Structure 1
């Protein structure tokens, strides 16, 4: 969670290469000195590749998260009326769903609504693989009032 936006964290990125081994000049049966050297080089290259792949996965995930949040923010903006969708806490990722809580504050001509805590919890949902959005009355009332005044 970074600057009230969802951000990817690949600190626990795990990649494993099977049968990745470098050979010097095609030498399949090196002596012990060459074997130590090639094992060290293999380990270093393997580690570097893993770090770079995890870094790129993190970059792509951040780009996608920014795109989705910017698109949603643009969708929820009309003239002097907008909805703040910044996250209020770090998202929770489980095997079945991603749970994130957003502000949902309606801004109408620089006046912001106030929202109490939501009563929603993901356990209220079924196990279907669908995308759910939970909008409480505290989100809709100021939004409808702002649209009515506009």
Structure 2
């Protein structure tokens, strides 16, 4: 037993971590005001990559993390252990999720589209409970609002229905 659940996913998490650390180092060369958002993104990416790295291990904490951050049913481009490519319908459905989110943002803005997208994606795609999906949708949307509107005083796009540009 290697102690790692999937070497490909573990390697990907390590690569993202390395890129995020490099990005964080780069932000130190930019004036402080201009580096505020890139620094936040770098730190968030580092934290998420570390969570992913730990979740890929066969340790008690790795299994605990995996229980909270993994979907019940994962639709991937290629199923684990499956040598043939995913069907075009699966790929098309994955692309439609992103197009649907972007279309929603364009029409009704971030603050309405984000919780709906997170909720539907977690319930329909991730197999999570309605309660868990609702909680994550609310918390994530609140943190997006808090970060942009309050901390950075940067208005989020309201959508064309609500006066978007």
Q: Give TM-score scaled by structure 1 length.
A: 0.28
Query: Which of the two has greater helix per residue?
Result: 2
Whichever of the two has the greater Rg, that structure is 1
More contact order relative to length (CA 8 Å, sep ≥ 6): 1
